[in-house]
């Protein structure tokens, strides 16, 4: 005796990510992961720069010259912005693990606060770098 075959419902499948409207909580979570990857890669760049600067007085001057360029300052600003968002988002996730901001409305509010705090920290990092 054979099993009855389940009928497949024909429903539309939308795989175009540009047409999907993500909630702000999903955007915050995705950006937290992206900021973590950027921070991980930045550790290698910053350790290389630290290695050059600690090698000798001449190496310190070379590292100083590297950091004084606009493009490198922009990259450093991006690294600091990603690090600050990752820290702020991590604190948000820790608070959620403790049982806070778990509802949709409070989660959206905490995501907006995380974006706002990161914007302020990003501005401060820009002032510090330049």
Separation CA 88–CA 97 (nearest Å): 14
pTM: 0.81
17 falls within a domain: no
8 falls within a domain: no
pLDDT score at 2: 63
Parent domain of 35: 24-129
Is 86 annotated among the ligand-binding residues?
A: yes
Tally the domains of the chain.
Answer: 1
pLDDT score at 113: 97
68 falls within a domain: yes
pLDDT along the chain (130 residues), means of 10: 66 74 93 97 96 97 94 96 98 95 93 98 96
Compute the residue count for the chain.
Answer: 130
The CATH number of whichever domain residue 84 belongs to comes to 1.20.1300.10
Separation CA 60–CA 37 (nearest Å): 28
54 falls within a domain: yes
2 falls within a domain: no
């Amino acid at each position: 005796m054979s099993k009855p075959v389940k009928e497949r419902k024909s429903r539309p499948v939308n795989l175009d990510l540009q047409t999907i409207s993500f909630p702000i909580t999903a955007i915050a979570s995705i950006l937290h992961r992206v900021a973590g990857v950027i921070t991980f890669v930045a550790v290698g760049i910053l350790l290389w720069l630290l290695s050059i600067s600690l090698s000798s007085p001449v190496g310190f001057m070379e590292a100083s010259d590297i950091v004084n360029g606009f493009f490198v300052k922009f990259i450093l600003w991006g690294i600091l912005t990603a690090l600050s968002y990752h820290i702020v988002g991590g604190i948000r996730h820790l608070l959620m693990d403790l049982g806070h901001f778990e509802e949709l409305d409070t989660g959206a509010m905490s995501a907006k606060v995380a974006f706002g705090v990161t914007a302020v920290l990003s501005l401060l990092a820009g002032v510090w770098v330049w």
